[in-house]
């Protein structure tokens, strides 16, 4: 089997070729979770909850915890928003600016008659208006549902309709193109607020003049721990996006996990590259860093390697939270950083959203001077659950260990590949055995329901566990290893094949920039492993490279190596950047592509 893994009976052996990355004693001592074992033992969510400031007179409101609380805290470092417009330059909004602008926005909502509990969607690029309107809506007691601004008209319509939003904040240009033509089909939508002046549009409120007219003081609506604050749509990787509902009390988990998994602290310059239209960009691009007193960087522009290295350098970013797709794109440009790049302020790098290939972890160590720390969570969990932390060894290819307060396990699978539930009970898998990743219900940021789908939500729980739909295995030290989504795993000639492992093995070849692996039907083997491969610049997709890669795969993986390799120019991604294996499979089988709304973006 070479250095790869064997998968008989659903058991695997860890890939041996990636040495763990150790931390120096000094690095560990400096880290937020220097005493991981003790914190795990002593941790309680109740104690964590008592760290919140709380609204004067009682109640919890995310906006108050994010910004207002810092005004009364002379010892703490106040957060700020540092905005980098696509056109160049930068603007900084200090804590007092954020407080008064969000108060004004809350007053705008009140003057329109928008009431507590109503839903407000945002359809905005990464601009200060996005942050201000979100904070202001929470202050007014509204539920915010951020929509990714690159969505085309159809995904926007679907989500506005599902959310039954009464209010939308957007730009005049997005409104004209994506909303005006369908506004009649959205009876719940009473108010459209556009962020431009002189938009000259009928039936919209222009934000700049409304803000000027509004008072900078606002008495925050007394929301409670269990009051809804956010409606996040999932990425739609496996099907139609689900609407996950989150509460104000979730901030307890946002704060704790950002300290634990991102090593974040007051005074950090923090760059989360995810758009606030996705849960990562909201939990960690807005809520956690503001509430902890960090400077939040917000870059309006799209991905560009030179720009990103310039930002890391010029803004002296200390903590960087990004995604495997972005890292793979940076890796495509090789090990040579652009001249002038200086990453000496960069203390911690983390990644989420997709499996992080071990290659990318060690590339970080080699090229950025910091290993990339993978962590795992979902829209439903609201916050990071499993992570490689600053204070511990990084095992490349592993998503790390459960954070303090998180009770996770791997459950033995039944015939359908998901956790087996027998008479209402589940059974933990053994160390090394592949099973369904599950979390003991009850952490503060757990989603409280799927919008309009109570049955689907109820089905996600068994025996007190939330079943994640992901397959993983644990090693003897409680590090978790992602195998694949339950829907994506391949059964080939008696082997259980996780696409991630095959993709990671292929990515270790110098020619491979990205790979997507699926099973194709085969009368003898059940399924055959097929890989779609995107090459790095300078490599020719021909027969000789194909045979070389096939042999390379066989050496690395043995029996589970891909039998077929197809070269493609690009892989299909969700709007949040994830490889859509179900689409590769649908294309391969000539099936309809199902709900492709999440691919709508550029259309």
- Footprint on this chain of ligand ATP (rule: CB under 6 A): 234-239, 241-242, 352-356, 374-376, 378-379, 399, 468, 470, 482, 485, 576, 578
352 binds, among Mg ion, ligand ATP, none (CB under 5 to 8 A by kind): ligand ATP
Nearest approach in angstroms of CB 185 to ligand ATP is 24
DSSP 283: I
Q: List the helix and strand counts (H, then E) for the chain.
A: 20, 27
Residue 470, contacted partner among Mg ion, ligand ATP, none, CB below 5-8 A by kind: ligand ATP
Q: Are 380 and 466 in contact (CB under 8 A)?
A: yes
Helix axes 305-314, 324-332, angle to 10 degrees: 110
Q: Please report where in the chains the tokens 């964590």 appear, as a residue.
A: 48
- Are 375 and 387 in contact, with CB atoms under 8 Å apart? yes
What is the nearest approach in angstroms of ligand ATP to the Cβ of residue 332?
20
Q: Closest distance between ligand ATP and the C-beta of residue 148, in Å?
A: 11
Q: Least Å distance between CB 482 and Mg ion?
A: 13
Tokens standing for residue 495: 């082997």
Residue 103 binds which one of Mg ion, ligand ATP, none, with CB within 5 to 8 A depending on kind? none
Query: Quick one: what does residue 535 bind among Mg ion, ligand ATP, none, with the CB cut-off 5 to 8 Å set by partner type?
Result: none
Cβ-based nearer residue to ligand ATP, 450 or 552: 450
For Mg ion, the binding residues in 80-119 under the rule CB under 5 A are none
Total of residues contacting Mg ion (CB under 5 A): 1
Shortest CB 243 distance to ligand ATP, Å: 10
Distance CA 580, CA 586 (A): 10
Our CB check for ligand ATP shows the closer of 103 and 381 to be 381
Closest CA to 582 of 568, 570, 596: 596
The nearer residue to ligand ATP, 274 or 529, going by C-beta atoms, is: 274
Of 407, 289, 305, 391, nearest in space to 348 by CA: 391
If the CB atoms of residues 465 and 552 are measured against ligand ATP, the closer one turns out to be 465
Q: Which is nearer to ligand ATP, 127 or 283 (CB)?
A: 283
Q: Is the separation of the CB atoms in 484 and 518 below 8 Å?
A: no
> Which residues 217-236 are close enough to bind Mg ion by CB under 5 A?
234
Q: What is the DSSP letter of 181?
A: G
- Residue 28 or 274 with smaller CB distance to Mg ion: 274
Q: According to CB under 5 A, which residues from 234 to 293 bind Mg ion?
A: 234
Least distance from ligand ATP to the Cβ atom of residue 237, Å: 3
Cα gap 178→123, rounded to integer Å: 10
Cα 296–Cα 300–Cα 303 angle in degrees, nearest 5: 105
User: Which of the choices Mg ion, ligand ATP, none does residue 355 contact, using the CB cut-off of 5 to 8 A by kind?
Assistant: ligand ATP
Report how far apart, in Å, the C-alpha atoms of 332 and of each of 212, 353, 360, 510, 577 are: 47, 19, 11, 10, 16
| Chain residues 328-357 in contact with Mg ion, contact rule CB under 5 A | none
Q: What 3-state class would DSSP assign to 396?
A: coil
Which residue, 197 or 452, is less far from Mg ion as judged by CB? 452
Tokens encoding 246? 């989150």
Q: Which residues pair with 436 in a beta bridge?
A: 411, 471
Tell me which residue has its CB nearest to Mg ion. Answer: 234
Q: One symbol per residue from 179 to 218: x for binding Mg ion (CB under 5 A), - otherwise; what is it?
A: ----------------------------------------
Closer Cβ to ligand ATP, 228 or 241, answer by number: 241
Distance CA 119, CA 136 (A): 13
Residues that bind Mg ion (CB under 5 A): 234
């Amino acid at each position: 089997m070479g250095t790869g893994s064997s998968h008989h009976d659903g058991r695997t052996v860890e890939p041996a070729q990636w040495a763990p990355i150790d931390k120096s004693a000094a690095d560990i001592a400096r880290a937020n979770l220097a005493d991981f074992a003790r914190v795990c033992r002593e941790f309680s969510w109740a104690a964590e909850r008592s760290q919140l400031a709380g609204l004067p007179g009682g109640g919890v409101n995310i906006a108050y915890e994010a910004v207002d609380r810092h005004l009364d805290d002379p010892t703490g470092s106040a957060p700020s928003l540092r905005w980098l417009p696509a056109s160049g330059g930068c603007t900084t909004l200090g804590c007092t600016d954020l407080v008064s602008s969000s108060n004004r926005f809350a007053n705008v909502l009140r003057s329109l008659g928008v009431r507590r509990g109503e839903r407000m969607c945002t359809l905005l690029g990464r601009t200060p208006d996005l942050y201000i309107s979100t904070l202001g809506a929470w202050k007014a007691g509204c539920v915010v549902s951020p929509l990714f601004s690159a969505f085309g008209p159809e995904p926007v319509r679907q989500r506005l309709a599902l959310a039954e939003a009464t209010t939308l904040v957007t730009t005049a240009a997005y409104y004209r193109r994506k909303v005006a033509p369908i506004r009649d089909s959205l009876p719940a939508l009473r108010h459209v607020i556009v962020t431009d002046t002189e938009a000259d549009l009928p039936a919209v409120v222009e934000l700049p003049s409304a803000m000027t007219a509004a008072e900078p003081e606002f008495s925050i609506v007394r929301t409670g721990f269990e009051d809804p604050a956010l409606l996040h749509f999932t990425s739609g990787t496996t099907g139609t996006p689900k609407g996950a509902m989150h509460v104000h009390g979730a901030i307890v988990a946002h704060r704790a996990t950002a300290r634990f998994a991102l090593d974040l602290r007051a005074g950090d310059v923090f760059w989360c590259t995810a758009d606030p239209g996705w849960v990562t960009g909201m939990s960690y691009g807005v809520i956690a860093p503001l509430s902890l007193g960090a400077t939040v960087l917000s870059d309006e522009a799209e991905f560009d390697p030179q720009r990103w290295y310039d930002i890391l350098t010029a803004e002296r970013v200390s903590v960087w939270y990004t995604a495997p797709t972005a890292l793979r794109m940076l890796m495509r440009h090789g090990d040579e950083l652009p001249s002038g790049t200086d990453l000496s302020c960069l203390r911690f790098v983390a990644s989420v959203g997709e499996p992080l290939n071990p290659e990318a972890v060690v590339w970080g160590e080699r090229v950025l001077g910091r290993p990339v720390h993978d962590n795992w969570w979902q829209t439903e969990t609201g916050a990071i659950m499993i992570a490689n932390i600053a204070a511990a060894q990084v095992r490349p290819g592993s998503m790390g260990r459960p954070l303090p307060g998180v009770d996770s396990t791997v459950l033995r699978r039944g015939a359908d590949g998901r956790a087996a539930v027998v008479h209402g009970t589940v059974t933990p898998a053994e160390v090394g055995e592949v099973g369904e990743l599950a979390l003991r219900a009850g952490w503060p940021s757990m989603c409280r329901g799927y919008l309009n789908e109570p049955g689907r939500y109820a089905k996600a729980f068994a025996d007190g566990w939330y079943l994640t739909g992901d397959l993983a295995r644990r090693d003897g030290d409680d590090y978790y290893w992602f195998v694949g989504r339950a829907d994506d795993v391949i059964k080939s000639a008696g082997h259980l094949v996780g696409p991630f492992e095959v993709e990671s093995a292929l990515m270790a070849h110098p020619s491979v920039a990205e790979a997507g692996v699926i099973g194709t039907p085969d009368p003898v083997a059940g399924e055959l492993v097929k890989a779609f491969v995107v090459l790095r610049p300078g490599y020719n997709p021909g027969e000789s490279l194909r045979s070389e890669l096939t042999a390379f795969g066989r050496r690395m993986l043995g029996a589970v190596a891909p039998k077929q390799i197809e070269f493609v120019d690009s892989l299909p991604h969700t709007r949040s950047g994830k490889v859509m294996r179900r689409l590769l499979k649908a294309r391969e089988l000539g099936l309809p592509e199902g709900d492709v709304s999440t691919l709508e973006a550029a259309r």
